[in-house]
Chains A and B, each alone.
Chain A
Amino acid sequence: MKSSTSLLSLLSFVMSGLLIASCAFPDENEDTDPIETGKIQIQFDNVVGSQDLKLDSVRYTNSVGEDFTVSKLNYFISNIKLTKIDGSVFTVPQDSSYFMIREANAGSQKLVINNVLTGEYTGIEFVVGVDSARSVSDESQRKGILDRYSGPTNEEAMYWDWNPGYIFLKMEGSSDSAMTANGKYEYHIGFFGGRTERTLNNLRTIKMNFPGQKAIVTTSIVSNVLIQANILKIFDGPTQLSIRKSPGIMFTDSSKNVADNYANMFSVKEIKIN
């Protein structure tokens, strides 16, 4: 209740601010509100070990010695929470908390979170994928980046029509080890737990502390949290994956192995104060 109350007051503060700005009645007394907000940037950088990921042009080697390129890498990030130094948690309003990171689109990798309570933050939490409640919600609740019929979700085919649900992570590329007709490997990982009956749940929550640094949010200071995603870990984690053995992992039980692996691919690289 505490957080929703503060959220409400935050909202009303923003609203009243908007009204004041747009009307600017000189004789009105400006309501004073003790809550101050700022913004924070969260930047995702996809890497391969110590190298920056380059689409198509560079061949990499996974942990079982198979070569591969990456032609496409997209994943959803949602339900972001920030931990304050006092242990309290600031939850980004859910409607503003869905993003799709696309390696081919630099702008998509920089998330700007507005209306963050000012303070010092020591950690971050987010979900890779689209939570089940939102996945089954009415389509009017899934516009913007979640619109299955327009924009990136449609263009990048990040939604399964035949078994309705978002693809949380999609990685495709080619490999000499892929014994497919076109030499491609394709990982499409989805499954939010089931619409009418319980199914596999490949939603993964990532929780990380900021290493040795704090992200400071004030009305003027914007911190930039750089998160690296090491895609070698998609192949190598609790389960070591082989492109030769499984060039296509989509709607199968083994998709959970991929999800378990990529749940470990994120790390907070650094925090910059702007």
Chain B
Amino acid sequence: MKHVAGILSITAAILALAISCSKKTDNPEPLPSDKTPTPLQWNKPSHFPDPVYDLSKNPMTVEGVELGRFLFYDGILSRTDKIGCGTCHQQQAAFTHHGHDLSHGVDDKIGTRNAPSVQNMAWNTSFFWDGGVHDMDMVPPVPIQNKVEMDERVANVIEKLKKTPVAGAAKQVDYPKMFKAAFGTDEINAERMMHALSQFMMTMVSATSRYDYFVRGDASALTAQEKEGMAVFIQKCGSCHSGTFFTDQSFRNNGLIPNRIKDQGRYDITLNENDRLKFKVPSLRNVGLTAPYMHDGRFTTLQQVLDHYGNDKISSKDSIYVSPTLDPLLNVAGQKRGISLSATEKQAIIAFLRSLNDDDFIKDKRFSDPGIGTSL
């Protein structure tokens, strides 16, 4: 302990010297770049549950969110510098890839699954169609390092970010400056990058659809048909699409015929036979904007989706694919497989689902491309 005391006193002496030295040349006016990041208080919508994401490990700042927005849209995250998160997660389609059943990434390579919506991420207990990732901070590396999406290495993204602004580049972004504004110093590392992206995604909350106004007490926010549709929906779809986000966040086999690559979904994560052909029950918020549907985007309209569940395809064939993991709710003994739905009920459900569209969310400038994005 004597040694420690000795060291401490010496260190203190050196520090004192250093401080007194620097004071001699002290500039009384603080430089503007010394501004500390502005804390941002994140509040959940009053009718939403508490978030799953732990903000204590990543305190939000105004500048952090702004940095996250730039990173979200900047193609610098990809090997070709052309594909950003916003390429396949477009705001007007509630951050899905409008018109794409499967997304194409670098060099027009085609992925295997439909781009899920980036919305209300704060409440997700797992991410992606197979739920392989459990922490929002670990979401961005998946598309960044996927060979057919952005095909880049995070370590290289960090190096590229450090070298900005690039002289002569069409889009001048000074990331060292933005990291400093967000985190206090200009150090750029993966943890900060993921934290900034999470901060931005924390703000991407959809809570202002007409349905939300209805829930918050405005009975006139929904039409009679939508209310009727809501009642049928709760009764016939609500056991899986439950709660504030219309998902129980479970993994289920909803009777889709396996596609050409025989995508096994959740099984690829757990290698559990009971998980074959199971995919995450998606949130239905903004579902009217996120066509096409299902993990491979095989259905282009909500009508097709309900025809699948209703097992009403105009053919002699059963449209519900029977396999050992088929959800029991779609395979009740003594009944026709699927969910019994009349044409009127389907129309009502579709009307109700469209009331989940959140126009404010898809137009909110805070979530928009700051002018650096690329859309394909």
Report A's interface with B, CB cutoff 8 A: 16, 19-20, 22-23, 25, 28, 139, 147-151, 154-155, 157, 161-164, 191, 194-197, 199-200, 251-253
Contacts and interface: CB of A to CB of B under 8 A. Distances in A.
B141 A25 contact: no
A253 B276 CA distance: 13
Contact of A148 (B132, B134, B141): B141
29 contacts: A19-B7, A22-B7, A23-B6, A23-B7, A23-B10, A25-B3, A28-B2, A139-B191, A148-B154, A149-B141, A149-B158, A149-B190, A149-B191, A150-B190, A151-B155, A154-B154, A155-B155, A161-B141, A161-B144, A161-B145, A162-B128, A162-B146, A163-B269, A164-B133, A197-B270, A199-B270, A199-B271, A252-B271, A253-B271
A162 B142 CA distance: 5
A161 B142 contact: yes
B78 to A, nearest CB: 15
A199 B132 CA distance: 12
Nearest to B144: A161
A164 B138 contact: yes
B127 to A, nearest CB: 10
**Chain B interface residue number, banded:** 20 to 34
A199 B272 contact: yes
A162 B155 contact: no
B263 to A, nearest CB: 13
Interface string B198-213: 0000000000000000
Interface in B125-174: 128, 130, 132-134, 138, 141-142, 144-146, 153-155, 158
A2 to B, nearest CB: 25
Contacts of B269: 163, 199
A150 B272 contact: no
A164 B145 CA distance: 13
B268 interface: yes
Given A199-B270, A252-B271, A19 B155 contact: no
B134 A251 contact: no
Interface string B1-26: 01110110010000000000000000
Given A22-B7, A151-B155, A157 B145 contact: yes
Contacts of A25: 3, 6
Nearest to A19: B3
Q: For chain A, what secondary structure do more than half of its interface residues adopt (helix, strand, loop), or is it mixed?
A: loop
Contact of B268 (A151, A163, A164): A163
A14 to B, nearest CB: 13
B4 A19 contact: yes
Interface of B: 2-4, 6-7, 10, 128, 130, 132-134, 138, 141-142, 144-146, 153-155, 158, 189-191, 268-272
A20 B7 CA distance: 10
A274 B283 CA distance: 64
B298 to A, nearest CB: 21
Nearest to B147: A157
A23 B146 contact: no
A206 B272 CA distance: 27
B202 to A, nearest CB: 19
B257 to A, nearest CB: 22
Given A23-B10, A199-B271, 19 more contacts: A19-B4, A20-B3, A23-B7, A28-B2, A28-B3, A149-B154, A149-B155, A150-B158, A150-B190, A155-B153, A162-B133, A162-B142, A162-B146, A163-B133, A163-B268, A164-B132, A200-B271, A251-B268, A253-B271
A163 B141 CA distance: 11
B129 to A, nearest CB: 10
B270 A23 contact: no
Task: Give the most central of A22, A25, A161, A196: most B CB within 10 Å.
Answer: A161
A197 B131 CA distance: 12
Contacts of B158: 149-150
B3 A23 contact: yes
A195 B158 CA distance: 28
Contacts of A161: 133, 138, 141-142, 144-146
Contacts of B268: 163, 251
Given A19-B4, A162-B132, A162-B133, A154 B270 contact: no
A157 B271 contact: no
Contacts of B155: 149-151, 154-155
A219 to B, nearest CB: 22
- Report, nearest first, the 8 A-B pairs whose CB atoms are least far apart: A149-B190, A19-B3, A154-B155, A163-B132, A161-B141, A149-B154, A161-B142, A150-B155
B3 A195 contact: no
A199 B190 CA distance: 28
A27 B141 CA distance: 56
A252 B269 CA distance: 9
Name which of B4, B145, B146 has the most chain A CB atoms within 10 A of its CB: B145
A170 B171 CA distance: 39
Contacts of A162: 128, 130, 132-133, 142, 146
B146 A196 contact: no
Nearest to B128: A162
Contacts of B190: 147, 149-150
A191 B132 CA distance: 13
Nearest to B138: A164
Contacts of A199: 269-272
Contacts of A194: 270
A217 B197 CA distance: 50
B156 to A, nearest CB: 8
Given A163-B268, A197-B270, A157 B142 contact: no
A191 B268 CA distance: 11
